[in-house]
Amino acid sequence: MSRSKYFVWPAAFLLLTSASSCDFIEGVFKGGVYVGVFLVVIVIVIIAWLISRARR
């Protein structure tokens, strides 16, 4: 096993136990909301681009 694998598990454990579970879940959902909004904007831009291209 490489040294980096020995570092990942203790670091992950420390991260998960240092923050309360509610804070961790809240952060995950906030990140999910921003990613979702970003993807919706990208899809709308692609659809608008396709419509403008079809009119030519």
**Do 27 and 18 form a contact (C-beta atoms < 8 A)?**
no
Q: Per-domain residue ranges for the chain?
A: 20-56
CA dihedral 32, 34, 38, 43 (to 10 degrees): 50
Q: Region 22-45: what's the mean pLDDT?
A: 83
Residue holding tokens 């579970």?
21
pTM metric for this prediction: 0.49
pLDDT of residue 10: 74
What contacts 16, CB < 8 A, 6 or more positions away?
Answer: 24
Tokens of 30: 């906030």
pLDDT of 1 higher than 60: no
Residue holding tokens 């079809």?
54
Tokens of 14: 């420390």
